[in-house]
């Protein structure tokens, strides 16, 4: 049983976030996007004021479902077209900055027409400097996106709707030291009838201290607490529901920061410790499930605890080139509910070259290892033995992208990349070749 996750391009800043790494957690401490996609990076910052415009994206995927091609897991090749209209509003009002981004698009699949859907994105935020030198910020988001098929293994139509709201305050204590408090609430729902048991509600609170330097660098020390529930959980039901508990709690502590060493050298990082509890449940084995004789009830324990870190270093090698390095270790769900205690290690390098005033070329190479309950303590806690405790996946992704702006109002991007995953259980391996061409107009 695999968990539903949104299909999306990789995060432009994969260093942001914390130990929980997958959308199911919905604490939205997103660590990184190991799903491959464009290497174009964060793109250009939004223009001040109001802008709007259409966009068209054509994407061909040789293995849409990210399956091995073995019996029972055939590869599905398809081309999809995304026609959308977006608008952005960014403006400063005294000591407040307001931003709003809206996008509405229709995604059409050439062959698998049952997957057609309407994509939605709404992001709003405000950053303010209040009296008494208090910094405040608030964000809200609404997204409607197709599931990432790597977590389904079949072209099942499941459109995920996620809503979130977050806010934080930072106020001075003594010179160079500020207190930070914040929180967020999130809800995610699945349109697929067989996946609605994965709907999640989560709330997080965090608090800590921020040490600031006169140059604007800062280091945060935070503790946080997350409580999440699966509102459609059905106690004792086998099949799909055997992989989901009623909910879970998380407690974590992190030290993170942004530090600029020079004009061409910047570090963003986080290191912490996470404890995941309450993720236990019992179910009766379903028809055809292989269990020891006499077993009528199975207890599943997906609790875990462990360190996590992610560090992104940006080196501006020359005036026209830069290189981003990322390294991370995370413990948590990686998409497969049968192995929620996987340890994921990821390394990525992303060079970018400004080939001219209108052209930027970027590439990336990613190496990842997924050790599914390979830690003996985690394996024992999850009740995994033998081959289950030893499953090891390796992923190698690479791509190159060109971003061309022939006119002030027109941006054209082309991206080619390959995703390859090998596994000690061959059924879970796959290779996918993806070509993307997009044009964006901004007025």
Query: Does the pLDDT value for residue 72 go beyond 70?
Result: yes
Give the E-state strand segments of 357-391 in sequence order.
Answer: 359-371
**pLDDT, position 259:** 92
How many CB atoms sit inside 10 A of residue 181's CB? 14
Hey, what domains does the chain have and what are their CATH numbers?
A: 23-441 (2.40.160)
- What is the pLDDT at residue 104? 98
Query: What is the percent of the chain where pLDDT is above 70?
Result: 77
The separation between the first and the last C-alpha atoms of the chain, rounded to the nearest angstrom, is: 46
Reported pTM: 0.82
Where is mean pLDDT largest: 43-52, 174-183, 194-203, 388-397? 174-183
377: enclosing H helix or E strand: helix 376-382
Burial class, 280, CB count within 10 angstroms (exposed 0-12 / middle 13-18 / buried 19+): middle
Question: What are 95-118's pLDDT values in tens digits?
Answer: 999 999 999 999 999 999 999 999
Q: At 430, list the tokens.
A: 């796959």
Greater confidence (343 vs 139) lies with: 139
DSSP 3-state of 274: strand
Distant-in-sequence, close-in-space partners of 289: CB < 8 Å, separation ≥ 6? 238
Per-residue pLDDT tens over the stretch 350-373 = 999 999 999 999 999 999 998 765
């Amino acid at each position: 049983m695999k968990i539903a996750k949104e299909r999306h391009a990789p995060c432009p800043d994969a260093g942001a976030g914390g130990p929980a790494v997958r959308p199911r957690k919905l604490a939205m401490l997103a660590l990184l996007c190991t799903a491959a996609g464009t290497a174009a990076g964060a793109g250009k910052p939004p223009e001040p004021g109001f802008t709007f415009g259409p966009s068209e994206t054509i994407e061909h995927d040789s293995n849409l479902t990210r399956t091995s091609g073995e019996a029972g897991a055939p590869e599905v090749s398809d081309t999809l077209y995304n026609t959308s209209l977006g608008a952005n509003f960014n403006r400063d009002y005294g000591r407040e900055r307001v931003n709003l981004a809206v996008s509405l698009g229709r995604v059409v699949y050439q062959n698998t027409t049952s997957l057609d859907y309407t994509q939605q994105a709404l992001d709003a935020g405000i950053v303010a400097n209040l009296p008494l030198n208090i910094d405040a910020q608030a964000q809200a988001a609404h997204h409607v996106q197709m599931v990432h098929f790597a977590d389904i293994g079949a072209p099942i139509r499941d459109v995920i709707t996620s809503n979130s709201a977050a806010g934080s305050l930072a106020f001075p204590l003594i010179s160079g030291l500020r207190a930070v408090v914040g929180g967020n609430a999130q809800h995610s729902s699945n349109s697929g009838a067989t996946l609605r048991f994965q709907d999640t509600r989560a709330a997080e609170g965090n608090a800590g201290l921020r040490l600031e330097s006169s140059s604007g660098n800062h280091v945060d020390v935070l503790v946080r607490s997350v409580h999440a529930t699966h509102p459609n959980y059905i106690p004792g039901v086998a099949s799909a529901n055997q992989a989901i508990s009623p909910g879970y709690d998380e407690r974590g502590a992190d030290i993170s920061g942004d530090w600029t060493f020079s004009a061409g050298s910047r570090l963003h990082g986080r290191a912490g410790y996470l404890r995941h509890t309450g993720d236990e449940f019992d179910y009766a084995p379903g028809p055809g499930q292989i269990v020891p004789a006499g077993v009528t009830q199975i207890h599943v324990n997906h609790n875990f605890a462990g360190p996590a870190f992610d560090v992104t270093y940006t080196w501006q090698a020359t005036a026209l080139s830069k290189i981003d390095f990322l390294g991370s270790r995370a413990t948590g769900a990686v998409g497969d509910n049968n192995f929620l205690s996987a340890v994921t290690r990821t390394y990525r390098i992303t060079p970018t070259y400004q080939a001219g005033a209108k052209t930027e070329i970027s590439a990336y190479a990613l190496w990842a290892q997924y050790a599914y309950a390979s830690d003996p303590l985690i394996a024992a806690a999850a009740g995994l033995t033998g081959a289950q405790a030893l499953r090891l996946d390796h992923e190698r992704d690479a791509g190159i992208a060109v971003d061309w702006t022939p006119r002030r109002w027109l941006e054209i991007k082309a991206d080619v990349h390959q995703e390859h995953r090998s596994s000690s259980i061959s059924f879970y391996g796959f290779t996918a070749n993806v070509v993307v061409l997009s044009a964006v107009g901004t007025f």
